[in-house]
Structure 1
Amino acid sequence: MATTVTAPPVPKSPPDSPVLIDAATLSRPNRTWVPLPRWLRRLAGPALVVAVWQLLGATGNINPRVLATPAQVAQAAWELAKDGELASNLLASLQRVGSGLLIGVGLGVLLAVLAGLFRLGEELIDSTMQVVRALPVLGLLPLVIIWFGVGEEPKIALVAFAAACPVYINTYAGIRGVDNRLVESGRVVGLNRLGLIRHVILPGAVPGFLVGLRFALTSAWLVIIVAEQLNATSGIGYLMNQAQAWYRTDIIVLGLLIYGVLGLLADSLVRLLERRLLVWRRGFNGA
């Protein structure tokens, strides 16, 4: 007579048990069904928007006097580039933004270091900067014109003000957010106060500074758009203001696209700095 052997039941996991994901799964490179470079796949969304925009304009669903088509914008860009007008105005905008960022970022870092490292600096600087950052940047335009006149100085001053606040806030938070256990470890290995600042605190604040720099670059381009449309004789904003009088929406859209592309390039530059300066930090890149 045959004996039937019954296998023991397999224990089931409780329904509420968490799903464990190991580190190897998180660090595994992402795979995609589209065999194209990542930067090319990221352009698919903007390319689709441009295609739909051109189609709506070509079929007459969008009035060209209200919004020019991409083809008309490209034609306007070619005409301005051929005359040299686009290059000269673009250079003027870049000089203003570069000068303002140099002043604003330097001032923001200096104030953040003083407030972050010293309690007296925090008491004197931080409360003031918290009030200043709540002020609308463009609301200061009449006052800045009274102070500096209508030349280049007020435009550079507005950019510097817009850049200093986000750099200060994020760098200060980065300094105060350094893990105290790292500071204690530095003291154990014999680092003095200057060594702790140089090798522990300031490197730990670099991620916060880079976040503030990205916000500063965005704020700088937003401010310069308005600043160049008031009492300016050059710049992309001035070019857009002149085009408004002639209902040249192609030039206006071209100016907006230039600001957007410059902002994207600036953000890409900061991302490159992050990859170079923060090689020790591996973050989650998406599943």
Structure 2
Amino acid sequence: MPADHTLTIREPRRGAPNRGAWPRLSNRPGGWHVAGLLLPVAFLALIETLVRIHVVPEHLVPAPSSIVESLWNLGGARLGRHIGASSLRVLAGFSLGAALALLLGAAMGLSRRLDALLDPSFQALRAIPSLAWVPVLLLWMGIDESPKITLVAIGAFFPVHLSVVAGIRGVDRKLVELGEVNRLSRRALFTRVLLPASLPQIFTGLRTGLSLAWMFMVAAELIAATRGLGYLLSDGRETGRPDIVFGSILLLALLGKLSDSMLKTIEAHVLSWRDTRSDSTPRVSRAAP
């Protein structure tokens, strides 16, 4: 009589450790999110302590409390004008650069001829540093808002453009063939197959482009501005105020994080249809002893 090879899974005894299970903390990511928010606070508290006990020189790294006090002394209206000016420049430049990148990236992703024509030029322009654009834009556009917004748009354009082209080119061929079998038009094939399949990579490019938009904004304001966080940073450097310099950097980090979180929330809403590993909660597995 043949042996019965049926595997019987036994329930673990109460109180006994389940070796095949995921760690309990991994099922509750909320605690890790709280820890992630507390980590920079703990770092600032450490810097405060090191400065107060004279381990770190205050003229090189001011205490966070001194930075907050200096920003407070600037006045809410003045500080708000600097933050508002920089935020509006990033918003305008990122919107312009991302919109143009989405259009050209989609066209180049769908047309290999257009990609072969434009890609060498775009790759060469992408290698130009941000500061190299500043004198050219000042020469062409003057010193008003136009060169600043244009520089921010340049910074946002290239990562979004690359993500759109790579996202469309990386769509599974079987999905395209399925759309062709169902006799979808070119427009329907793009809107119902290519675009949804490439959206995750496009959003990654948008978030990268947004971070570069903040960086390019600082480069523009360091040279030709009378208002903005980049100007505030440059003014603190020229007047020997490290508290203002570090305060500007902290504000830039905070604004960059807030804008990225907003874009990440939009991404989660638009891509709510996904069923990926990162969207699922690990389940506790039951293993045979």
Change (3 A) 1:245 1:134: closer
Mind listing any 5+ residue stretches in structure 2 that lack a counterpart? 1-20, 283-289
Q: 1:225 aligns with which of 212, 215, 218?
A: 218
Q: How is 1:35-50 mapped onto 2 (pairs within 5 angstroms)?
A: 37-50=31-44
TM-score, normalised relative to structure 1: 0.84
Which structure is richer in relative contact order (CA contacts within 8 A, separation 6 or more)?
A: 2
Cross-structure match for 1:66: 60
Q: Is the 8 A contact 2:67 2:246 kept in 1?
A: yes
Mind listing any 5+ residue stretches in structure 1 that lack a counterpart? 1-24
- Deviation per CA, 1:95-121, whole angstroms, max 9, x where unpaired? 111111111001111110110112332
Q: Distance in 2 between matches of 1:29 and 1:212?
A: 31
Q: Is the 8 A contact 2:67 2:244 kept in 1?
A: yes
Q: 1:262 aligns with which of 246, 255, 265?
A: 255
Is 1:121 the counterpart of 2:114? The answer is yes
Q: Distance in 2 between matches of 1:130 and 1:208?
A: 19
Q: Offset of 1:275 from its aligned partner?
A: 1.3
Q: Distance in 1 between matches of 2:190 and 2:175?
A: 11
- Deviation per CA, 1:117-167, whole angstroms, max 9, x where unpaired? 123321222222222212222212111111111221111111110100000
Cross-structure match for 1:4: none
Q: Distance in 1 between matches of 2:237 and 2:123?
A: 37
Q: Which amino acid aligns with 1:95?
A: L
- Deviation per CA, 1:175-214, whole angstroms, max 9, x where unpaired? 1111111111112223121110111011112112111111
Q: 2:93 aligns with which of 89, 95, 100?
A: 100
Aligned residues: 260
Cross-structure match for 1:15: none
Cross-structure match for 2:185: 192
Q: Which amino acid aligns with 1:67?
A: V
Give the percent of matched residue pairs that are identical in Structure 1 and Structure 2.
Answer: 34
Q: Offset of 1:174 from its aligned partner?
A: 0.3
Is 1:244 the counterpart of 2:240? The answer is no
- Deviation per CA, 1:195-246, whole angstroms, max 9, x where unpaired? 1011101111211211111111111111111211112110011112222232
Q: Distance in 2 between matches of 1:29 and 1:274?
A: 26
Q: Offset of 1:36 from its aligned partner?
A: 6.2
Is 1:150 the counterpart of 2:143? The answer is yes
Q: Is the 8 A contact 2:130 2:219 kept in 1?
A: no
Give me the CA root mean square deviation. 2.2
Q: Is the 8 A contact 1:155 1:227 kept in 2?
A: yes
Q: Distance in 1 between matches of 2:90 and 2:147?
A: 12
- Secondary structure of residue in 1 paired with 2:222: coil
Q: Which moved more, 1:196-205 or 1:243-252?
A: 243-252
